[in-house]
Amino acid sequence: MIDMDKLVDIEKSTQSKQVFWDQGVYDRELERIFGRCWLFLAHESQLQKTGDFFTTKMGEDSVIVVRHTDGSLKAFINSCTHRGNSVCTADSGNTRSFVCNYHGWVYSTDGSLVDVPLKERCYHDDIDMSAMSLPSIRVESYRGFVFGCFDETAPSLVDFLGDWGWYLDTWMVGAGEGAELIGPPSKSILKCNWKVPAENFVGDGYHVGWTHASALEMLGGELGGLAGNRANMPFDELGIQVTTRHGHGFGVIDHAGIGIHDKREGYAKFLQETQPGVAEKLGQPRAELYDGHWNCTTFPNCSFLYGTNIFKVWHPRGPHEIEVWSWVIVHKDMDEDTKKEVVKQAIRSFGTAGTLESDDGDNMVNSTRNNQGRHTRKNTMDSRMGVGHEGPHPDYPGIVGSSFIGETSYRGFYRFYQEIMSADSWDAIRAKDEQWADCFPNKDYWKDRLAAKAKAKGGE
Amino acid sequence: MHNTEAKDRVSMQLHYDVSQHYYQEATLLQEREYQTWLETFIAEDIHYWMPVTERRYAKDKRAEPSPNDMAIINDDYDELKQRVDRLGTGTVWMEDPPSSVRFLLSNIEVFHTDKEDEFVVRCNFITTRHRGQLERSQHVGGRVDLLRKTESGYRLVRRKIVLDARVTEDKNLYIFF
Ligand code: FES
Ligand SMILES: [Fe+2]
């Protein structure tokens, strides 16, 4: 029996190292997390015409997402209901139907079985095709980003994102017609547990200066000062970190949006021109975030950097390995040259051969691999940075940490991890909607800090 | 854009010269002489490109990837120089201790183009990287280069690196191919 209270100690802000290693924990993750959460599938811009399809994964399950003839998006498990072979073996494309290579069963773009070879003569017409559709998956989109969910009892995608959607809107609807993803995704294998990059993107501003010292030094610019942690910076004034109800979270470095990009004239101009519109459409608090650099994870395994504009999914392949899929985020209203510039710059830093991407791999692999040691994994990992320096904020929903360097959103990620791993049902999770933030007890952190700030300003 | 349409095959002598040039390049990279490689082998108008190639059905008529699309590497000279410079900062923790990279080149074919001093060179490669105790990766693919003969030797003007694997079995591709 897995005791989640032992694996995640919320009071002490620690996690057992077993969460990166044990097969039993992983099996339960596939069931309770990947089987119950909304998982990123594709962007609608890849699926515009009838019959456009994209093959992907949800946990370890192979999945097809496709634009059906009635205009809706459908998703189903890519495994024939006859003997289980794949019904689609291409990454993407356009099709009228999916034909299984094994015995030739044919499925329509809504997953229904429409043809069985030799049905009359060999099945003697004794087969109910209507009961043999490919197992279907719930599909919903948020601002053009398509997600799938195996669980009929899960909340809607909008409710699952909750306050996180409020933040996503900053760049998904803030500027003009919104955002889209440029693919096809590059794909690579990283021998780490899926949570290592997920937690890193959700809230690890701390590693940036050290892990990425070489790349930051080479790049210079706004973030160059972080290289090697040498700069004496007032970190509590340079950004915030946020965690929300279902473990989604992010950190933002104020006004550093395109700091990782080298050639960026088009992007800089675009941000400058669109920022006033964000304030008008969404208000000042989000306009303030709009030109920041964001590191984010949508629970459980979809991470992105807004500003650097890489968008990643960590597909688990057992407890010790993942497939990394990388796209690039662009704004639909950018001119073609700017889009190209953004794609080029994003992959240069965080693509498979990226100058910063390459810094991270070893940390993630070793943080996983070391737990092969039986005695190593009897220990815990720590995420206490900034405890108490966080709380509800008058302008920003969720729990807001004092700085982009802190572990508020780590704690929020593992808080929900523990909750969903323990909960028997979504109803049990819903029952705690009002209390989820109780483990962040300093309710007056921002009230006090903002009052002190106002006072200091008044006294000047 | 350069005209890279391969014409006739070059003479035996020229094929030998170009092959030796390629082996020398591989040796420099194996010995981590990246700066020398950049300064003596690379043209300032370099385009160094590794596209992302999807698995598509044979009947799929969509265009092949272009340099305007998603890629793994899509560098001009400045960007390639930054890759080299980063390795010289002394703070690339993952390369200390350094990894061992080896290049096996074969099937070198050299063609004239309609410019007298430019040649199309195709070859296959297996690039291996060993790191730490047991870590090893292998990348198999082909290169299509445009090579320019100058007073200071051959310079690489364009390199398209095509990996055969759809999913890279390595933690990154921070390797010069
Ligand atoms: S397994 Fe698909 S048709 Fe038999
Ligand atoms: Fe990183």
- Which residue out of A103, A119, A123, A133 has the highest number of ligand 1 atoms within 8 Å of its CB and is therefore the one to mutate? A103
> Nearest CA to CA, how far is B113 from chain A (Å)?
29
Contact B70 A361 (CB under 8 A): no
Contact B167 A188 (CB under 8 A): yes
Question: Hey, which residues 109-148 in chain B have their CB within 8 Å of chain A?
Answer: none
Residues A245 and A381 in one domain: yes
Residues A283 and A405 in one domain: yes
Contact A343 B69 (CB under 8 A): yes
B74 touches A: beta carbon within 8 Å = yes
- 3-class SS at B77? helix
> Nearest CA to CA, how far is B69 from chain A (Å)?
7
Give the residue from B125, B124, B123 showing the smallest Cα distance to B103: B125
Q: Is residue B170 part of a domain?
A: no
| Cβ-based contacts of B55 with chain A (< 8 Å) | 89-91
- Pocket lined around ligand 1, Cβ cut-off 6 Å: A 80, 82-85, 100, 102-105
Look at chain A and count its residues.
460
Q: Is residue A441 part of a domain?
A: yes
For the question of residue A320 being annotated catalytic, the response is: no
Q: Is residue B177 part of a domain?
A: no
Q: Is residue B58 part of a domain?
A: no
Q: Give the one of B75, B91, B172 whose C-beta lies nearest to A357's C-beta.
A: B172
| A364 Cα: distance to centroid of ligand 2 (angstroms) | 10
Give the residue from B81, B91, B75, B95 showing the smallest Cα distance to B35: B81
Q: Give the one of A184, A189, A215 whose C-beta lies nearest to B169's C-beta.
A: A189
Output the six-digit token pair for A87: 């019904």
Residues A201 and A261 in one domain: yes
CA distance A336 to A338: 5
CA distance A353 to B175: 8
Residue that terminates a domain, selected from A108, A142, A176: A142
B58 touches A: beta carbon within 8 Å = no
Q: Which of A97, A208, A261, A362 to mutate to test the interface with B (most CBs of B within 10 A)?
A: A362
Catalytic residue among A22, A360, A389, A393: A360
| Cβ-based contacts of A351 with chain B (< 8 Å) | 71-73
DSSP of A244-289, one letter per residue?
-TTS-EEEEETT-TTTT-SS-HHHHHHHHHHHHHHHHHH-HHHHHH
Residues A350 and A242 in one domain: yes
| Cβ-based contacts of A189 with chain B (< 8 Å) | 167-171
Residues A343 and A269 in one domain: yes
Q: Is residue B88 part of a domain?
A: yes
Contact A351 B71 (CB under 8 A): yes
Atom 4, ligand 1: which residue's CA is nearest?
A103
The pLDDT assigned to A259 comes to 87
Give yes or no for a contact between A74 and A47, defined as CB atoms under 8 angstroms apart.
no
Give yes or no for a contact between B139 and B163, defined as CB atoms under 8 angstroms apart.
yes
Residues A217 and A334 in one domain: yes
| Cβ-based contacts of A362 with chain B (< 8 Å) | 93-94, 171
Q: Is residue B4 part of a domain?
A: no
Q: Is the pLDDT at B2 greater than 50, yes or no?
A: no
Q: Is residue A362 part of a domain?
A: yes
Q: Which of B168, B175, B176, B177 to mutate to test the interface with A (most CBs of A within 10 A)?
A: B168
Residues A12 and A50 in one domain: no
| Cβ-based contacts of B82 with chain A (< 8 Å) | 218-219, 262, 355
Give the residue from A249, A336, A255 showing the smallest Cα distance to A293: A255
For the question of residue A293 being annotated catalytic, the response is: no
Summarize pLDDT for A205-227 with one digit per residue, the tens. Answer: 999 999 999 888 888 777 888 88
For the question of residue A5 being annotated catalytic, the response is: no
Q: What is the 3-state secondary structure (H, E, C) of A145-165?
A: EEEEECCCCCCCHHHHHCHHH
Q: Is residue A150 part of a domain?
A: no
Residues A17 and A64 in one domain: no
Q: How far is CA B105 from CA A233, B48, B127, B160, in A?
A: 49, 18, 9, 15
| Cβ-based contacts of A217 with chain B (< 8 Å) | 89, 91
> pTM, whole model, 2 decimals?
0.96
| A161 Cα: distance to centroid of ligand 1 (angstroms) | 37
Residue span of the structural domain in which B84 resides = 12-53+71-163
Question: Which chain A residue is nearest to residue B53, measuring alpha carbons?
Answer: A184
Structurally, chain A folds into a number of domains equal to 2
Q: Which of B84, B163, B171 to mutate to test the interface with A (most CBs of A within 10 A)?
A: B171
CA angle at A292 for the pair A288 and A296, rounded to the nearest 5°:
115
Residues A12 and A71 in one domain: no
| A119 Cα: distance to centroid of ligand 1 (angstroms) | 13
* pLDDT band, residue B78 (cuts 50/70/90): very high
B61 touches A: beta carbon within 8 Å = no
Residue span of the structural domain in which A439 resides = 4-24+165-459
Contact B91 A228 (CB under 8 A): yes
The domain that holds B75 is classified in CATH as 3.10.450.50
Question: Which chain B residue is nearest to residue A361, measuring alpha carbons?
Answer: B171
Atom 1, ligand 1: which residue's CA is nearest?
A83
Q: Which residues of chain A have pLDDT under 50?
A: none
**What is the CA A441 to chain-centroid distance, rounded?**
27
Structurally, chain B folds into a number of domains equal to 1
Q: Is residue B168 part of a domain?
A: no
CA distance B113 to A163: 59
Contact B70 A362 (CB under 8 A): no
B164: left (phi over 0), alpha (psi -120 to 50) or beta: alpha
The domain that holds A278 is classified in CATH as 3.90.380.10
Residues A323 and A177 in one domain: yes
For the question of residue A337 being annotated catalytic, the response is: no
Mean pLDDT of B120-130: 98
Contact A92 B57 (CB under 8 A): no
Q: Is residue A411 part of a domain?
A: yes
B66 touches A: beta carbon within 8 Å = no
Give the number of A-B residue pairs with CB atoms closer than 8 Å: 126
Catalytic residue among A27, A91, A103, A395: A103
CA distance A194 to A59: 10
Atom nearest to A80 CA in ligand 1 = 2
Q: Is residue B169 part of a domain?
A: no
Alpha helices (H) along A351-398: 357-369
Provide the ipTM.
0.95
Summarize pLDDT for A147-202 with one digit per residue, the tens. Answer: 999 999 999 999 999 999 999 999 999 888 899 999 999 999 999 999 999 999 99
Q: Is residue B3 part of a domain?
A: no
Residues A234 and A301 in one domain: yes
Which backbone phi and psi does B111 adopt, to 5 degrees?
Answer: -130, 145
The pLDDT assigned to B1 comes to 40
The domain that holds A52 is classified in CATH as 2.102.10.10
The pLDDT assigned to A219 comes to 82
CA distance A292 to A235: 14
Residues A213 and A76 in one domain: no
